[in-house]
């Protein structure tokens, strides 16, 4: 239930959509009625509808049974008060300053003032890990309830990630254009899937005059090789595509400040920038890999694989 302009609305249906349309135009803010404190929310415009979303750093203000509740540390997922992320309270549009480059001519960091300045600047920008966690949070994938069992498939995860990216810009680039999340692969539909993928990649990476563009990949790791001769990664749902890792990936390491003998994660999710190299070959420029549970919950933020050129 949402409290909006003094009236209560159920979480779906035409009355809520009508009220959200008016509230969006008049810059009104809804509140979630799951607890007496009525946590503030914001309105995002999606394709053909309006969506009520949780304000950053308020997941703990919601009831445990509320879909907007989150037990994750919002500080690790991005805070609108930090220089790295700015959210327009009127439009809901989010602009992120990233530490990774979105083109070959962009460093992602302001290093012109010296190394110390560059390090300070980096601390105020999103890493690829930050972006993964931000999208996971915006997509509502940091929460879990028993009724989700066997329903949170990659198709569901992909749908919510793409929707979460709809109002986000990274280093001045609309994330809806630059983000590539592989669609679920099916042998029966393989040709159609490949055709859609090639069209998507070529339209963005090969468009003139921006041939130095990079796309952002989010996907599940199927196979990872850090061999000095041929570092590479294979992404689930991209069985016919091997993505080359930068040469320095042969020194890939995991930062593990937790228990060294803990069980390995059920899933590894990669966030990476990639580009075309030598024609049709896809080459990863920078990447980070985050551990996830079997239910797609960020499992161990203290175990992070890193790689950069």
Please indicate, yes or no, whether residues 23 and 161 belong to a single structural domain of this protein: no
Q: What are phi and psi of 46, to 5 degrees?
A: -110, 180
pLDDT at 249: 62
Residue after which a domain boundary falls, among 22, 45, 69: 69
Q: How far apart are CA 157 and CA 307, in angstroms?
A: 24
Strand (E) positions, 60-199?
A: 85-87, 94-96, 168-170, 173-174, 179-180
Please indicate, yes or no, whether residues 120 and 259 belong to a single structural domain of this protein: yes
Give residue 217's domain range: 70-307
Check if the beta carbon of residue 30 is closer than 8 Å to that of residue 6.
no
Q: What is the DSSP letter of 48?
A: T
Residue after which a domain boundary falls, among 69, 103, 121: 69
Q: What is the DSSP letter of 110?
A: -
Please indicate, yes or no, whether residues 122 and 155 belong to a single structural domain of this protein: yes
| Maximum separation of any 2 CA atoms in the chain, in Å | 65
pLDDT at 279: 54
- Run of H or E including 136: helix 128-138
Please indicate, yes or no, whether residues 45 and 183 belong to a single structural domain of this protein: no
Please indicate, yes or no, whether residues 109 and 245 belong to a single structural domain of this protein: yes
* pLDDT tens, the chain, 309 aa long: 899 988 899 887 788 899 998 888 888 889 999 888 888 888 887 767 888 888 766 777 888 678 887 755 444 444 434 568 888 877 778 899 999 998 876 655 433 334 444 444 445 789 999 899 899 988 888 887 778 888 999 999 999 999 999 989 999 899 999 999 999 999 999 999 999 998 998 888 876 555 578 999 999 999 888 776 778 888 999 988 888 887 766 545 444 333 333 445 588 999 999 987 655 568 898 999 888 888 898 864 444 555 554
pLDDT at 209: 57
How many residues does this entry show for the chain? Answer: 309
**Structure token pair of residue 231:** 């570092």
**Structure token pair of residue 149:** 């069992």
pLDDT at 215: 92
Please indicate, yes or no, whether residues 231 and 142 belong to a single structural domain of this protein: yes
Instruction: Quote the Cα angle for 120-252-258, to 5°.
Output: 75
Those residues whose C-beta lies under 8 Å from the C-beta of residue 84, and which sit 6 or more positions away, are: 78, 96, 97, 98, 124, 125, 126, 130
Please indicate, yes or no, whether residues 169 and 303 belong to a single structural domain of this protein: yes
Distances (CA, A) of 236 to 28, 80, 164, 265: 42, 32, 21, 16
Nearest-10 Cα torsion for 140, 145, 150, 151? -40
**Count of beta carbons in the 10 Å neighbourhood of residue 167:** 22
pTM of the shown model: 0.69
**Structure token pair of residue 131:** 């972006």
Please indicate, yes or no, whether residues 103 and 14 belong to a single structural domain of this protein: no
pLDDT at 303: 41
Residue after which a domain boundary falls, among 46, 69, 92: 69
Please indicate, yes or no, whether residues 259 and 272 belong to a single structural domain of this protein: yes
**Count of beta carbons in the 10 Å neighbourhood of residue 48:** 6
Please indicate, yes or no, whether residues 192 and 75 belong to a single structural domain of this protein: yes
pLDDT at 216: 96
Please indicate, yes or no, whether residues 101 and 146 belong to a single structural domain of this protein: yes
Q: How many domains does the chain have?
A: 2
């Amino acid at each position: 239930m949402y409290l909006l302009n003094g009236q209560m609305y159920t979480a779906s249906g035409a009355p809520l959509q009508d009220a959200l349309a008016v509230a969006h135009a008049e810059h009104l803010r809804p509140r979630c009625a799951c607890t007496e404190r009525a946590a503030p929310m914001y309105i995002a415009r999606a394709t053909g509808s309006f969506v009520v979303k949780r304000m950053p750093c308020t997941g703990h203000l919601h009831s445990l049974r509320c879909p907007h509740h989150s037990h994750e540390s919002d500080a690790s997922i991005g805070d609108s008060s930090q220089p790295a992320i700015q959210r327009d309270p009127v439009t809901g549009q989010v602009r992120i300053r990233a530490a990774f480059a979105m083109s070959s001519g962009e460093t992602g960091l302001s290093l012109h003032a010296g190394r110390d300045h560059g390090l300070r600047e980096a601390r105020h920008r999103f890493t690829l890990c930050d972006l993964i966690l931000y999208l996971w949070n915006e997509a509502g994938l940091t929460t879990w309830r028993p009724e989700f069992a066997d329903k949170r498939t990659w198709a569901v995860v992909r749908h919510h990630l793409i929707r979460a990216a709809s109002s986000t810009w990274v280093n001045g680039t609309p994330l809806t254009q630059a983000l590539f999340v592989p669609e679920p692969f099916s042998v029966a539909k393989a040709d159609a899937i490949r055709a859609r993928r090639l069209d998507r990649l070529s339209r963005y990476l090969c468009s003139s005059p921006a041939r130095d563009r990079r796309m952002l990949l989010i996907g599940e790791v199927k196979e990872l090789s850090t061999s000095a001769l041929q570092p590479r990664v294979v992404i689930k749902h991209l069985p016919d595509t091997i993505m080359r890792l930068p040469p320095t990936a042969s020194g890939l390491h995991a930062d593990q400040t937790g228990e060294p003998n803990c069980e390995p994660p059920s899933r590894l999710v990669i966030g990476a920038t990639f580009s075309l190299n030598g024609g049709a070959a896809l080459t990863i420029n920078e990447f980070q890999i985050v551990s996830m549970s079997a239910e797609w919950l960020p499992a161990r933020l203290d175990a992070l694989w890193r790689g950069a050129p």
